[in-house]
Structure 1
Amino acid sequence: MAKPLSAAQVISALRAEGVRVVEVGNWRTHNRNSKGAWGPVNGSIVHHTVTRGTASTVAMVRDGYSSLPGPLCHGMIAKDGRVHMVGWGRANHAGGGDPRVLEQVINESYGSRPTPPTKGNANGTDGNARFYGWECENLGDGKDPWPKAQYDAIVRVQAALCRAHKWSAKSVIGHLEWSSDKVDPRGFTMVQLRKDVAERLKHPASWNPGTPTPPSEETDMTPAQEALLKKLVADVADLKKQQAVAPWTYRNPAKDAESQAAGHRIPDMHGRIEQLQATLDDLSRAVDALTAARG
């Protein structure tokens, strides 16, 4: 267990590791400390954002949503490799997770990966108190690429924390390794990421071997997490179909005798409003599901 680094300490550690840092507003005092514990910290969790666009992603992880206030992480690692610091202290990123995984991370006692989690956001141990959190700009669809500069920054950020706390790479986990109802990050495996962090820790913080290439995607997901991902993808596809409203032509019966004779009239606007409301409700639920999957 360890006392969380101060804002000044983490900035120093990141810059020593060669990370390009962007300080966003009052990030040093922006946190959720009034809602729960912050520390002792036992590790670091890697996430993906399910977003596109750096500026909007930074705003989202800093400010959060109406149902999930920010900050949603400590730093957001952008496609270009810059790390945008948005908060320091307790952040809404980890949610609930498996206490067995927490024990394995504390003791750094697992093999290549922790025991698959069986507890999730609703019934798990509070991870927001125990982990640093890093959102990474990516759609999370398994197709959106991870640029070399971004992956290199992810490795450097995790190595900086491990070096500062004298942890091994086993203190770094993915959200899907912490919580049974999460699927992030997608596009690389945490097994490979830990190998790259471990290699970096063999060298001084100033080590600059060149930018590593992210491995092609394999899956770290359990069968339950794969089923959750398929459901989310299917829900989004279904919502897209629901949004396809058949076109209709407005015809004014008072000015169009042919339309009047044929019985044409303005469609039932009340029914259309109800249809639009139902679609908005479905979209809201989908956003909540994706938010929960991200933590």
Structure 2
Amino acid sequence: MSFTWLADHPLRTREQVAREIHAVALQRGLDELATVIACMTVAVEVGADDDDGNRQWWCPANQSDSETLNFPHDSESDDADSSGYFQQRPPWWGTPAQRMTLAQSADLFLSRLSGDYHTAAGNPALAGQFAQRVQGSAYPDRYAQHWDEAWDVVRRALATTPPEGDNVGYTGDPVWLEDVLRAALGDRLVVEAGWKDRGTGGQMGDIWGVMIHHTGNDRETVAGIRDGRSDLAGPLSQCLITPDGKCHLIAVGPCNHAGIGKYPGIAANTGNQRLIGFECAWPTIQPDGSFDKGQRWPDAQIITMRDATAAVLTKLGYGADRVIGHKEYATAAPNVKWDPGNIDMGWFRGEVAKDIAGYQFPGETPVVQPPDPSPTAIPADFDKQTFQQINGRWEMLGWQTLIEAVAEIRDHLTGSTDAGKTGFKLGAKP
């Protein structure tokens, strides 16, 4: 595999990649050996040194599969149309979103790992063969060469608990939400009273990322999200984002928003404790109860959804692959969801990725132009100019001062004979 571009830094450290893959393996009931075989594969497919000579695992997009460029990536390759950590190709390996999202691409790989992979314990060559059966590489012997690298990375990744901080997420209630969202949204954030005391009970676990919902009604209220409904107790999410672009911060603890479901890296039915929920008021309900599934989302609302998501994921130290729609989590009958409506989550993740990267969206950040100099601005020597113009004598006035000329005009118009008088007084007329 050849790279055509590498960023200064990868999206994740090798240890972070290993932890995410292992979370997917556990979700599938697999062990560390499965994680190691997957990491051997990643090491072969996308392992390369950065500019400082440090070994990294990269997530390349590919111009030949141009949609992959819309997803978070730290590199580009020109190896046919392969992309992502596992260098998976269409049409055999899902959608561009699946190939470019680590948890989903790992799930695709592990779903095809032979069930007897345990026989490769302690056997690098056999482990490499299991990887080769999935990948079908033209260079089948290379996987075994990275057995030691994969084990070293996995052991480091799993031997230590990720510390709280900028790079590896947070465990517990996100009491920092107000500060993070205020910095990103400014006056678009509305902090509701009591938000830090509100939740369904217990504390948030290891926060995996953000889940996007729609409420089913663009007139949804803060009270409705805060208090819940007859069949589901509130709060129903940490935030409500309304069509005008306001983000109402309602709760800090677990909320009844994700419910039944699962996603690679998120164990079954744990979304309420692992995901910060954004309920978004949409669509418009007509008097007869109908609505338009194709209704366009308001720009202000979409922009706030994007900015709020990017801010939270940046705080957690994660990329845009850590935001999912409810419809990507609740996929099994009878609890199949379709929110957030007609939003393509692959596109949305691409917009969030741009936001995280600092991209300036056209038309959203007005360029402040300095005002043109005013023709009536007061000059620095205004006092001097005023004195000279009032007291100076003007050839065009017959060498009279302005006051003398005005006095002659007044005499002419009114019949007075005041020109030439020398009296002067401040204040009221004598």
User: In structure 1, how many angstroms separate the alpha carbons of the residues matched to 2:301 and 2:353?
Assistant: 18
AA in 1 matched with 2:180: A
Q: Does residue 1:178 correspond to 2:329, yes or no?
A: yes
User: In structure 2, how many angstroms separate the alpha carbons of the residues matched to 1:203 and 1:5?
Assistant: 27
Equivalent residue, structure 2, for 1:47: 213
Aligned mate of 1:24, from 192, 195, 198: 192
Aligned mate of 2:264, from 98, 102, 126: 102
> 1:141: Cα distance to partner?
4.2
AA in 1 matched with 2:211: I
Equivalent residue, structure 1, for 2:240: 76
AA in 1 matched with 2:296: P
Q: Does residue 1:133 correspond to 2:277, yes or no?
A: yes
> 1:209: Cα distance to partner?
4.4
1:227-246 map, 5 Å: none
Q: Secondary structure at the residue paired with 1:149?
A: helix
> 1:162: Cα distance to partner?
0.9
Q: Secondary structure at the residue paired with 1:47?
A: strand
Alpha-carbon displacement from aligned partner over 1:229-253 (angstroms, at most 9, x marks no partner): xxxxxxxxxxxxxxxxxxxxxxxxx
User: In structure 2, how many angstroms separate the alpha carbons of the residues matched to 1:144 and 1:61?
Assistant: 22
1:221-232 map, 5 Å: none
**Greater relative contact order (CA < 8 Å, ≥ 6 in sequence):** 1
Q: Secondary structure at the residue paired with 2:256?
A: coil
Q: Does residue 1:203 correspond to 2:358, yes or no?
A: yes
User: In structure 1, how many angstroms separate the alpha carbons of the residues matched to 2:292 and 2:178?
Assistant: 31
Q: Secondary structure at the residue paired with 2:233?
A: coil
> 1:39: Cα distance to partner?
1.1
> 1:64: Cα distance to partner?
0.3
1:49-64 map, 5 Å: 49-53=215-219, 56-64=220-228
User: In structure 2, how many angstroms separate the alpha carbons of the residues matched to 1:143 and 1:202?
Assistant: 30
Task: Kindly report the root-mean-square deviation, in angstroms, between the aligned alpha carbons of the 2 structures.
Answer: 2.2
User: In structure 2, how many angstroms separate the alpha carbons of the residues matched to 1:29 and 1:174?
Assistant: 26
Equivalent residue, structure 2, for 1:257: none
Q: What is the identity percentage for the equivalent residue pairs of Structure 1 and Structure 2?
A: 32
AA in 2 matched with 1:210: G
User: In structure 2, how many angstroms separate the alpha carbons of the residues matched to 1:203 and 1:2?
Assistant: 23
Q: Does residue 1:169 correspond to 2:324, yes or no?
A: no
User: In structure 1, how many angstroms separate the alpha carbons of the residues matched to 2:172 and 2:212?
Assistant: 17
> 1:194: Cα distance to partner?
0.3
> 1:143: Cα distance to partner?
3.3
Equivalent residue, structure 1, for 2:298: 147
Higher CA-based Rg: 2
Aligned mate of 2:182, from 15, 19, 26: 15
> 1:145: Cα distance to partner?
2.6
User: In structure 2, how many angstroms separate the alpha carbons of the residues matched to 1:211 and 1:187?
Assistant: 23
Equivalent residue, structure 2, for 1:93: 257
Q: Secondary structure at the residue paired with 1:18?
A: helix
User: In structure 1, how many angstroms separate the alpha carbons of the residues matched to 2:298 and 2:330?
Assistant: 26
User: In structure 1, how many angstroms separate the alpha carbons of the residues matched to 2:292 and 2:238?
Assistant: 23
Alpha carbons 1:43, 1:131 under 8 Å: kept:
yes
User: In structure 1, how many angstroms separate the alpha carbons of the residues matched to 2:173 and 2:310?
Assistant: 14
Q: Secondary structure at the residue paired with 1:176?
A: helix
* Superposition TM-score, scaled by structure 1 size: 0.58
Q: Secondary structure at the residue paired with 2:324?
A: strand
Q: Does residue 1:159 correspond to 2:310, yes or no?
A: yes
User: In structure 1, how many angstroms separate the alpha carbons of the residues matched to 2:313 and 2:305?
Assistant: 12
Alpha-carbon displacement from aligned partner over 1:193-218 (angstroms, at most 9, x marks no partner): 100000111118xx564349xxxxxx
Alpha carbons 1:40, 1:130 under 8 Å: kept:
yes
Alpha carbons 2:239, 2:247 under 8 Å: kept:
yes
Alpha-carbon displacement from aligned partner over 1:106-137 (angstroms, at most 9, x marks no partner): 9xxxxxxxxxxxxxxxxx42210110000000
Paired residues, what number?
185
Q: Secondary structure at the residue paired with 1:129?
A: helix
> 1:14: Cα distance to partner?
1.1
1:188–1:74 CA distance, 2 compared to 1 (3 A): same
1:166–1:210 CA distance, 2 compared to 1 (3 A): farther
AA in 2 matched with 1:96: I
Alpha carbons 2:178, 2:191 under 8 Å: kept:
no
Alpha carbons 2:197, 2:251 under 8 Å: kept:
yes
Alpha carbons 1:148, 1:211 under 8 Å: kept:
no
| 5+ residue gaps, structure 1 | 107-123, 213-295
User: In structure 2, how many angstroms separate the alpha carbons of the residues matched to 1:46 and 1:194?
Assistant: 11
> 1:13: Cα distance to partner?
1.2
Alpha carbons 1:169, 1:194 under 8 Å: kept:
yes
Alpha carbons 2:172, 2:206 under 8 Å: kept:
yes
Deviation above 4 Å: which 4+ runs of structure 1? none
User: In structure 1, how many angstroms separate the alpha carbons of the residues matched to 2:363 and 2:185?
Assistant: 12
AA in 2 matched with 1:59: A
User: In structure 1, how many angstroms separate the alpha carbons of the residues matched to 2:351 and 2:305?
Assistant: 10
Alpha carbons 1:49, 1:57 under 8 Å: kept:
no
1:141–1:131 CA distance, 2 compared to 1 (3 A): farther
Equivalent residue, structure 2, for 1:33: 201
Equivalent residue, structure 2, for 1:66: 230
